[in-house]
């Protein structure tokens, strides 16, 4: 981690995440989603006290909205995501956008304070987990939106019934990266294919959706795998 700190300190363009702003914007986001998710089994966990760093439960909240509310839930989540972005300032303002990027596009922005020192209360796992969720938002609210809309009944069931299997795909990727980080890109596609298998029961395009959903998340963390891509096969 020391080399991470040093290299970032030498980068004059580095912007640290304003954690107070992130927490404010995240609280608004979670509160809005919680109101759409009252019927979910674990709603009591998914309330306004759910912190961004508790990324696994944040993911469960988001995906439970998809599974319970289907396409309506996805649309509401994407609208809430837009409001989350705007919470950092106007999207047209470059400085505001950089503040947003510092909290959402690179784990370093969460890990390092404005003095380029490691924050003691933010773990690498939490920083990576949150950045991954944001990248998956960009996909599912963009290129993946129409695919989900066309087959939301089946795909919502995958998010609901196959949650344990989907989490296992992620856990296996994380474990592989701890022991075999030399094969990042291979591990990335293994995780993406793991997701594809879960969603492929809804059709080839849904399989592509699952593959891209996971791949775009890990790509935000490991940007060197530019040769990796998902197909509809």
Q: What is the pLDDT of residue 171?
A: 93
pLDDT tens column, 132-150: 999 999 999 999 999 999 9
Instruction: Give which of 85, 126, 90, 101 is closest to 13, Cα–Cα.
Output: 101
Q: What is the pLDDT of residue 11?
A: 54
Average model confidence (pLDDT) across the chain: 88
Q: What is the pLDDT of residue 12?
A: 57
Contact between 158 and 214 (Cβ < 8 Å): no
Contacts of 103 (CB under 8 A, 6+ apart): 17, 18, 19, 21, 22, 88, 109, 110
Instruction: Give which of 111, 135, 122, 97 is closest to 220, Cα–Cα.
Output: 135
Give this prediction's pTM.
Answer: 0.88
Give me the residue spans of the domains in the chain: 1-142, 153-233
Q: Which residue has the higher pLDDT, 36 or 231?
A: 231
**What is the pLDDT confidence band of residue 7, given thresholds at 50, 70 and 90?**
very low
In sign, the C-alpha dihedral spanning 156, 159, 165, 171 is: positive
Contact between 228 and 219 (Cβ < 8 Å): yes
């Amino acid at each position: 981690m020391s080399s991470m700190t040093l290299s970032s300190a030498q980068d004059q363009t580095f912007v640290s995440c304003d954690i107070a702003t992130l927490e404010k914007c995240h609280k608004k986001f979670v509160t809005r989603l919680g109101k759409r998710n009252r019927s979910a089994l674990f709603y009591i966990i998914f309330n306004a006290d759910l912190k961004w760093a508790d990324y696994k439960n944040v993911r469960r909240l988001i995906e439970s909205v998809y599974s319970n509310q289907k396409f309506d839930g996805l649309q509401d989540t994407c609208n809430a995501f837009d409001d989350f972005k705007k919470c950092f300032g106007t999207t047209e303002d470059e400085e505001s956008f950089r503040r947003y990027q510092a909290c959402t596009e690179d784990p370093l922005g969460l890990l390092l304070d404005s003095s380029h020192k490691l924050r003691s209360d933010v773990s690498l796992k939490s920083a990576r987990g949150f950045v991954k969720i944001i990248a998956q938002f960009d996909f599912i609210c963009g290129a993946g939106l129409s695919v989900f809309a066309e087959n939301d009944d089946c795909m919502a069931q995958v998010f609901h019934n196959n949650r344990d299997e989907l989490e296992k795909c992620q856990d296996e990727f994380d474990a592989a990266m701890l022991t075999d980080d030399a094969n990042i890109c291979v591990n990335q596609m293994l995780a993406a294919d793991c997701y594809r298998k879960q969603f492929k029961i809804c059709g080839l395009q849904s399989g592509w959706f699952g593959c891209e959903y996971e791949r775009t998340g890990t790509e935000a963390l490991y940007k060197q795998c530019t040769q990796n891509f998902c197909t509809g096969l």
